[in-house]
Structure 1
Amino acid sequence: MTRTLLTGIATLALTATGALAQVDENAPQGGEMVVTYQDDVATLDPAIGYDWQNWSMIKSLFDGLMGYEPGTTTLRNELAESHEISGDGLTHTFALKDGITFHNGREITAEDVKYSLERVTNPETRSPGAGFFSMIEGFDSWNAGEGEGLSGVTVIDDKTVEITLSRPDATFGHVMALNFASVVPQEAVEASGEDFGREPVGSGAFRLAEWTPGQQLVFERFEDYHREGVPKLDQVTFSIGLEPTVALLRLQSGEADVPGDGIPPAQFLQVMNDPAQAERVVEGGQLQTGYITLNTQMAPFDNVDVRKAVNMAINKDRITQMINNRAVPANQPLPPTMPGYAEDYEGYAYDPEAAIQMLADAGFPDGFTTELYVMNVDPNPRIAQAIQQDLAEIGVTAEIRSLAQANVIAAGGEADQAPMIWSGGMAWIADFPDPSNFYGPILGCAGAVPGGWNWAWYCNEEIDARAAEADAMTGEGQQGGREDAWRQIYLDIMEDAPWVPVFNEQRFTLHSEGVAGDDTLFVDPVHIPVNYDYIYATEAE
């Protein structure tokens, strides 16, 4: 079996700005930063945590074999010194760097890698990320509670682990950079039990020093971190329980540095019209799409022409203006910065008259009545009202069901409960920068299950097979063909119209004069929302 040595397999990856972030190697060491959040953190266990708030926190506490260049979507080795891939793409051999320790002082070994991968895929862990590892040999039996672990993960020696896949998969490098693939110490997990999420022990740039539930978390610099000069800050304090408007006032008065929940929509124009504040606003693209799901298993959305008519009824420009143009109108599932995005695709033009005719031809000359589910946090109810008004123009009466996020998610996970869902506040942000991630969980057959995230309940088995073929394109020189394959998959999905793509959100954040760093670090596409590891305190200069 021949092997080729690769530095990473992110052949389709794009950076957030088209270039690597400008990390200031000479930035001063020391100082601290205060980040505000309204809600407390649910968990810091990398096998469990899966929301935009704890994602970047976990990334700063833990490392995996792979990671990303700061501020970009470009893969790099993290705990791994090297990554070799066999000629058939099935065997990945990782050699660990020497001398890297956990926060408890113990050196990391290949056994820790095996333990961590088996822990996250063990059904008893109930990890929402277990499915990402389905390409590893032995996953199906182990995830079903059978066998004695992942047969595809083999410890060669203390510093070498071999991972065998059941099928070639071009996304594997990105999967190994997910939080779910973080390496954890078995003794710490077993000592804490279910409290490991409150007592995390990793090998990341920061360690947890304090957690007062409902009040604050304090991260301290890990002195023995394996990257020299990282992190720059000595401490990051997360102040909990601050409503976004109050958080903005704290920042304006010098009591906080970054509003973790972003600039409140109601204060956005006020901030942008103040030159002193506007110059500290950072804008960045996100691998995100906001969309309306149309439940293909519920009448009348089981009719493709009805779904197409709804696509033509929505005035996306008006909705984008409602959020102060903090997004760009969307016409397909993929965001513009994702490989596979079809730049020449025009989508369904806003045309209410054509929508009315299409509904009539589909057997609904008088329209119909339906329900639109929405998360009850501004601006989402206002967006739902705009959607409601657009639908009324074509004779469709949509009753708005404005509910807490958890209730909307639960409704979407039931095949016969939510005819339409506006995804705002829950809209898909890519787990990793690859077009496949916008398919499997939210448009593929595997996601159209009770409790799943495919709220359109769309399952096209022919497209499922093509998606698997696209992800099997792992050889050198195949990246162009793979990108073309994914582009056509999403165009064909739009022919079935299970969604109304509405906009691709731009992230705007504000920081104080007390902290600095490349703009991409404040809107990091992977360390969502902020890359804490490379930001520095200006007062430390």
Structure 2
Amino acid sequence: MRNSLFAGVAACAMMLGGTSAFADGHMGGAITVTYKDDVSTLDPAIGYDWQNWSMIKSLFDGLMDYAPGTTDLVPDLAQSYTISEDGLTYTFKLKPGVKFHNGREMTATDVKYTLDRVVNPTTQSPGAGFFAAIDGFDAASAGDTDSLSGVQAVDDLTVQINLSRPDATFLHVMALNFAHVVPSEVVEQYGADFGKHPVGTGAYEMTEWTLGQHVVFEKNADYHIEGLPKLDKITFEVGQEPIVALLRLERGEIDIAGDGIPPAKFLEVMKNPDLKANIVEGSQLHTGYITLNTQMAPFDNLKVRQAVNMAVNKDRIVRIINGRAVPANQPLPPLMPGYDENYEGFKFDPEGAKALLAEAGFGDGFTTELYVANTDPQPRIAQAIQQDLSNVGIKAEIKSLAQANVIAAGGEKDQAPMIWSGGMAWIADFPDPSNFYGPILGCGGAVPGGWNWSWYCNAEIDERAIAADAMADPSQANDRIEAWKKIFTDVQDEAPWVPVFNEQRFTIRSSRLAGPEGIFVDPVHIPVHYDHVYISE
């Protein structure tokens, strides 16, 4: 999932546990959340942006979810599951008595309907490709059939899913919003407008939506997890400028500024002791990077790519954005399984960079282009990179364009020598290392219109990635993560990227929202895990 730097950053706290997030938390009450823009859709098959991601998660449930505040998979609508020895058959036993907001009990037929719908081309789901391992996907996604042959409702409480190949990420896919279960009769009643009339099994149900003004969620009294949700009501007000929202939060009129702290106000807020007390910083599954087009000279030369890695002062770039990130040295962010804490990568070393350039035959430097999105702070970051490169003899002309034009340039094999990914940098769809490889570093992404803007393709590493994802047996989990760890450090040794920073998320909320451990930033429920929010007063 793509993520814009300094986009919505509000998040709320939770603790681990199967029932109540905070055993001593107060129940009831209402909160107000503000956003600048209206919500695009609340259809789980369609919604794919930072604003509606967590709203959808509070209205709907999937077979799987994550333990609050972690990247650990746990059953949700599923009571249990089994995986066949060959890794090709997943059998889910559903919780009995789970009800949709309209009062009807959910069954295995609803799960099948949901998966059939998400891969049907008429749905136009941006997440359809995640289900490619299911038997019958090719025919269903082509529109040749409206049913996935690999998904069967064995009985009311049993779903069997057969895969065409082992896929260790499959349980993560079952936790994605795209797999959240919907009732067929309501979808068919509203058709394309289901996203404005959502009905799920989630902790909250939507009771009002006035376009351009507000969306209201109210507690689902029949929710299948005891003790959740904590609140009675959430009102999402839209059309609120972030600076106005911040002022309203200071006055106690709202509880969460959904668009986060405006960049222009960040230092002022951090210096205000009253506001700073209500800010929580947390990591997320994000990496911002510079791509080096390995198919364009001189970046087809490994020493040149290594030199560029050594030329960039990442600490200075982090200072430019007021410390809202931590320097990166590898593609994976620190929270991601497979991140190698012992990997040093390329240290900032301008003199070493000059020596490598001389060895590569570019002792006098060279001229190139650096593409960047034209929205602040991206051009300022690009100027810092430009200065760092000039210090080692590389003259980089900045091409500051609309984000869509930068993306288009990256998808052309011989157009963009370098791209600063800020505003378009990668944030994981799910907490598994494979999601940071295939789309942006694998051979499959190095295609016209793809997201692998370095056009890096190492067939041997690609084979290792496929083999890692075929380790679907839970007993192979540690071996699989170790395999991915070595894949990413081997990739970075070949320097198709300059990993620059891992963006931090800063949450600002009212003093009413607090718990024994404060307010946490959840790595998966982006930006807010509303189910576990409660009022401390």
Is TM more than 0.5 here?
yes
Q: What CA distance in whole angstroms lies between the structure 1 residues aligned with 2:15 and 2:26?
A: 23
Aligned to 1:20, which of 16, 19, 35? 16
Give the 3 Å change call, closer, same or farther, for CA 410–232 of structure 1 in structure 2: farther
Match of 1:84 among 77, 82, 85: 82
Query: Secondary structure of 1:399's match?
Result: strand
Structure 1 moving runs of 4+ over 6 Å: 16-19
- Counterpart selection for 2:293 from 283, 292, 295: 295
Query: Is the partner of 1:478 in helix, strand or coil?
Result: helix
Percent identity for Structure 1 against Structure 2: 68
Does the 8 A contact of 1:415 with 1:457 survive in 2?
Answer: yes
| 1:338-375 superposed Cα distances (whole Å, 9 cap, x missing partner) | 22112221111112223233334434344333333333
Structure 2, gaps ≥5 residues long: 1-11
Q: Decide which moves more: 515-524 or 495-504.
A: 515-524
Task: State how far apart, in whole Å, the 2-side matches of 1:418 and 1:243 are.
Answer: 35
Q: Which residue is equivalent to 2:432?
A: 434
Mapping for residues 44-193 of structure 1, pairs under 5 Å: 44-193=42-191
Q: How does 1:262-277 map to 2 (within 5 A)?
A: 262-277=260-275
In 1, the alpha carbon distance for the partners of 2:66 and 2:137 equals 25
Match of 1:283 among 244, 257, 281: 281
Partners of 2:298 and 2:214 in 1: CA distance: 48
Displacement of 1:288: 1.5
Q: Report the CA distance shift for 1:459/1:86 in structure 2 as closer, same or farther (over 3 A).
A: same
* 2:362 paired residue among 347, 361, 364: 364
Contact 1:521–1:534 (8 Å) recurs in 2: no
Alignment counterpart, residue 33 of structure 1, candidates 31, 34, 38: 31
Per-residue deviation, residues 94-137 of structure 1 (Å, max 9, x unmatched)? 11111212222222111111111121122332222122112212
Distance in 2 between residues matched to 1:304 and 1:520, nearest whole Å = 47
Q: What does residue 323 of structure 1 align with?
A: 321
Pick closer, same or farther for the CA change 1:151–1:76 going to 2, 3 Å.
same
Aligned partner of 1:3 in structure 2 is: none
Give the direction of change, closer, same or farther, for the CA distance of 1:17–1:101 in structure 2 (3 Å limit). Answer: closer
Is the Cα–Cα contact under 8 Å of residues 15 and 22 in structure 2 kept in the other structure? Answer: no
1:420 Cα deviation (Å)? 2.3
Q: Distance in 2 between matches of 1:114 and 1:423?
A: 38
Report SS of the residue matched to 1:112: helix
Which deviates more from structure 2 when the two are superposed, residues 176-185 or residues 38-47? 38-47
**Do the aligned partners of residues 418 and 201 (structure 1) sit closer, same or farther apart at CA in structure 2, a change above 3 Å counting?**
farther
Rounded to whole Å, the distance in 2 between the matches of 1:336 and 1:379 is 23
CA deviations over 1:475-501 (Å, ceiling 9, x no partner): 343222212111110111112211110
Contact 1:340 1:487 in 2 (8 A): yes
Q: Distance in 1 between matches of 2:241 and 2:376?
A: 12
- 1:110 and 1:312 mapped to 2: Cα distance? 54
Q: 1:492 and 1:322 mapped to 2: Cα distance?
A: 30
Q: Number of matched residues?
A: 524
CA distance in 2, matches of 1:41, 1:456: 34
Q: Structure 1: which amino acid aligns with 2:476? A: Q
Per the alignment, residue 529 of structure 2 pairs with 531
Gapped regions of structure 1 (runs ≥ 5):
1-15
Q: CA deviation at 1:519?
A: 5.6
User: More deviation in 45-54 or 299-308?
Assistant: 299-308
Q: TM-score, normalised by structure 2?
A: 0.91
Aligned equivalents of 1:391, 1:441: Cα separation in 2:
28
Partners of 2:268 and 2:310 lie apart in 1 by 34
- Measured in 2, the distance between the counterparts of 1:38 and 1:24 equals 30
State the Cα RMSD in Å. 2.3
Q: Distance in 1 between matches of 2:30 and 2:175?
A: 27
Match of 1:194 in 2: 192
On the 8 A contact 1:289/1:429 being kept in 2, the answer is: yes
Q: CA deviation at 1:520?
A: 7.5
Structure with larger RCO (C-alpha < 8 A, sep 6+): 2
Q: Secondary structure at the match of 1:123?
A: coil
